[in-house]
Structure 1
Amino acid sequence: MPSLERVGMVAGEASGDLLAAALLAAMRARWPQVRAQGVGGHAMQAQGFEAWSDSEALAVRGYVEVLPKLIPLLRLRKRLGDRWLAQRPDVFVGVDAPDFNFDLERRLRQAGVPTVHFVSPSFWAWRPEKVLKLREAADHVLCLFPFEPALLAEHGVAATYVGHPLASVIPQQVDRPAAKQALGLQPDVPVVALLPGSRAAEIEHLADRFVQAARLVQAEHGRPVQFVMPAVPSQHARLAALLAAQGAQDQVRLLHGQSHAALAACDVTLIASGTATLEAALFGCPMVIAYAMPALSHWLMRRKQLMPWVGLPNILCQQAVVPELLQDQATPQALARAVLQWLHSPAEVAALRQRLARLHTELAQDTPTLACDAIANVVAARSGA
């Protein structure tokens, strides 16, 4: 098997940073001399990653929202490509962020650099044209979900199912009383975790609604409820100001990061659609999924949506196991009602946790080893060619 010396990587946002960090740890264990460079966040840097730019630069979603950042992103992608073509890595691994990574991967691949894309785009859910760009960009795809390699093969894309690394990191049995104690929460009082997302646009459109919904839940539940809100470092000050403006700083406890701690401790989570919903599912959390964006972006995205759900738990279970409230449906009143429904329905909570436990088992694989094997095979095949 080849020995890797230099790896180029670009990971987008907090979720990509975590995925890439787990992969980097496995790569360093197999190839201790490996040097990884590119775009990454705090978790990757903790694994010795040399960040030329922070993954937060790629934290943008939608059509309208990306326009102000488009020129800086294009310049960043050009600089990265130039640098890697001058100092060629043994392999390039793009982690998620397809709108940024695909063009970069295609450019490097055409120049003879082996390319691996970690996380198949959800072409089976929306934007089916993505698979055509993926076929041009990547020599190989590392898939998080078991049904994806067969679908990609139909389009001529080589792929390996590696499982979802979070399914191995998150314990299958969660000790909620201990998790509450670790956060200094009362063990016999329900906990609702508010996760409005990590992007600035998500915070703008959801955080205020979530806080208003929390106040309604507290008023209507009839008994005390504890609220926690994890915040990524870049959004902590903004969320603190929002809580203060609503007079909710004493009602909602703002955490420095600690999203997994919050999900382990909570009885229900009110959560933005995205990777965090899968994390919540792996923690066995009853959840209410919400999302909102500018009307034009929503209209454009809905035109390309192929499935009746947007939340990963519903997509993976192929049924509406948790409620989704999107755009105008995501009013504070509707969000509060959905949260209260979980708090008042212990039998439904128990049934959901059984279904999510089965999903957890399906996704738990030796992801780092499988991913490293696939990367090594790609490098070996390119070297042999």
Structure 2
Amino acid sequence: MSTGPVTIAVVAGEASSDLIGADLIRDLQRLNPGCQFVAVGGRHIKATGAELIQDNEVFSVMGLAEVLKDLPRLLKTKKQVVRTILSSKPDLFIGVDSPDLNFSIAKAMKKHGVPVIHYVSPSVWAWRPGRVHKMARFIDGLLTLFPFEVECYSGTGIDARFVGHPLAKQIPLQVDKQRSRAQLGLSDKKILALLPGSRNREIKELTPVFAETVRKLNTSDEWQVVSSNVSEAKQKQVAKLAAEQQLELNFVDDTSALLQAADFALLGSGTVALEALLSKTPMVVAYRISPITWWLVKTFRMMQLPYYSLPNVLAGDFLVPEVMQNDLTTDNLLTACREVINDPQAEQRMMQFHHIHQSLLTAQPDQAARAVLNLAESLC
């Protein structure tokens, strides 16, 4: 790719991909000041100076059944995004995570001759592995966050490259929890991070059971319970649901900073579980999807692994407790939390967290941006 004016379209459909996309854009801006960006994203991508053509909040839907319910609205918005991107005459399209959204946009880009790079491999090692061959029809290059993912694309024609995980370079290998606590202005009491997720369904499903569990766990008031979310509106939503369970929450704006300060975390599945691992924070991961989605997953055997949280996938074992679906009750959560908090092998578990953290680092911190520029040389 030349160092002159180049237009890159970036679509980051979720809160986690907004962080990753913003990190990539900043590195590309530094390596090639001629790059201009049109993007779908959130506040982090907006802060890079990219032209935000659509806020990603509109795509904040989780689960097969939930997507079907909102399908007309999603399709209309997606078509508008495609039209707006194409009108900018992009030299390259980069979809960040969110395969259900980005793959359909990528197909449209490919049809119009725009080279496609996808950043963050879908979980083909755990969920519908046959997708890799379909992906080869519309994806030219793929940037993976985890080293083992590159092999999944061997022989497909997709140029897959491990670029490390942005969070692994942003969070220090050695986390100073006392200092992190002071920077957030929190008290010296032990901190319990309560993080049900950023999607509306996650908040509604997980906050009540999380709050009831923590209230029963914290009877002696030894924990300061702190939460965080992507917007003030969602913080208020979480606070209201927690208050209904007689639990008062404190809030901070930065989830990553909270996890680096926390002594324990109760959280929903997703990137936040990886953030907890990188922050060397003991955790319990919980999740519940709609009964219809769960029935589809079980009936058609869509899950390839016995665990679903990123810490366990990376460890290849049950490194952290998972409480899912029908098992997600206050009693079960309470038992899991107490086992982790009183774990006699906590130090060994933290060593495993440390080793996984090291495995997600690359020699160059801007490896993803360098890979994009390298791939673009042959694609554009």
Q: Which bin holds the TM-score, normalised by the shorter protein?
A: over 0.9
Structure 1 position 243 matched with structure 2 position 242: yes
Question: Residue 268 in 1 paired to residue 264 in 2?
Answer: yes
2:20 match: 19
**What's the CA shift string for 1:231-255, capped at 9, x where partnerless?**
2214122112213323322xx2233
Give yes or no for the alignment of 1:307 onto 2:308. Answer: no
Aligned to 2:225: 227
Question: 1:216 aligns to what?
Answer: 216
- The aligned residue for residue 370 of structure 1 is 367
1:113-142 CA-to-partner distances (Å, cap 9, x unmatched) read 111000000011112233233212211000
Question: Is the alpha carbon distance of 1:348 and 1:89 closer, same or farther for their aligned partners in structure 2, counting shifts above 3 Å?
Answer: same
How many residues were matched structurally?
A: 376
| Residue 139 in structure 1 maps to residue 140 in structure 2 | yes
Q: In structure 2, which of residues 300, 325, 328 is the aligned counterpart of residue 327 of structure 1?
A: 325
Letter in 2 for 1:203: I
Q: Whole-Å Cα distance in 2 between the matches of residues 179 and 378 of structure 1?
A: 38
Question: Partners of 1:337 and 1:91 in 2: how far apart?
Answer: 50
SS in 1 for 2:379: helix
Instruction: Report the CA distance between 1:151 and its aligned residue.
Output: 1.4
| Contact 2:54-2:81 within 8 A present in 1 as well | no
Q: Give, in angstroms, the shift of residue 378 of structure 1.
A: 2.8
Structure 2 residue 191 is the aligned partner of structure 1 residue 191: yes
SS of the equivalent of 1:269 reads strand
> Structure 1 CA distance, aligned partners of 2:6 and 2:354?
39
Provide the C-alpha distance between the structure 2 equivalents of 1:327 and 1:351, rounded to a whole number of angstroms. 29
3-state SS of paired residue (1:7): strand
Q: Counterpart amino acid of 2:372?
A: I
Q: % of aligned pairs identical?
A: 36
Give 1:366 shift: 5.2
User: Is 189-198 or 72-81 further displaced after alignment?
Assistant: 72-81
Give 1:223 deviation, angstroms.
6.1
| Equivalent in the alignment of 1:339 | 337
Contact 1:217–1:337 at 8 Å: present in 2 too? no
Asked if structure 1 preserves the Cα contact closer than 8 Å seen for 2:278 and 2:353, the reply is: yes
Q: Indicate the residue corresponding to 1:380 in structure 2.
A: 377
Aligned-partner residue type, residue 309 of structure 2: G
Q: Note the residue ranges of structure 2 that are not aligned, 5 or more in a row.
A: none
AA at the equivalent of 1:337? T
* 1:188-242 Cα shifts (integer Å, max 9, x gaps): x3221111001001011101110001011012xx562221111221412211221
Q: Tell me the CA shift for residue 30 of structure 1.
A: 1.4
CA offsets, 1:139-192, max 9 Å, x none? Answer: 1000000011121114332211000011000011111112222333332x3221
What is the distance in 2 between the residues matched to 1:81 and 1:113?
Answer: 12
Give the aligned partner of residue 101 of structure 1: 102
Alignment pair present for 1:296 and 2:318: no
User: Could you tell me how far apart the structure 1 residues matched to 2:184 and 2:339 are?
Assistant: 25
Cα offset, 1:10, TM superposition: 0.5
> Does the residue aligned with 1:113 lie in a helix, a strand or coil?
coil
1:255-310 Cα distance to aligned partner (Å, 9 max, x none): 3x221121111111111011111111101111101000211111222320000100
In structure 2, the partner of 1:110 is 111
Q: Which residue of 2 aligns with 1:205?
A: 205
* 8 Å contact from structure 2 (residues 177, 261) kept in 1: yes
Tell me the TM-score normalized by structure 2.
0.94
Q: Which runs of 5+ in 1 are unaligned?
A: none
Deviation at 1:367, TM superposition (A): 6.3
List structure 1 segments (4+ residues) > 6 angstroms apart after TM superposition.
Answer: none
Q: Report whether the alignment pairs 1:354 with 2:351.
A: yes
Query: Relative to 1, partners in 2 of residues 1:366 and 1:60: Cα closer, same or farther, differing over 3 Å?
Result: farther
Cα drift, residue 368 of structure 1: 5.6
Contact kept in structure 2, 1:12 and 1:58, CA below 8 Å? yes
| Partner SS, residue 194 of structure 2 | strand
Shift of 1:312: 0.5
Given that 2:136 and 2:156 are in contact with CA atoms closer than 8 Å, whether structure 1 keeps it comes out as yes
Structure 1 residue 18: Cα displacement: 0.1
CA distance in 1, matches of 2:221, 2:229: 26
Quick one: which amino acid aligns to residue 357 of structure 2? H
Aligned to 1:29: 30
Shift of 1:101: 0.7
Q: Is the CA contact 1:121–1:130 (under 8 Å) kept in the aligned structure 2?
A: no
Letter in 2 for 1:70: L
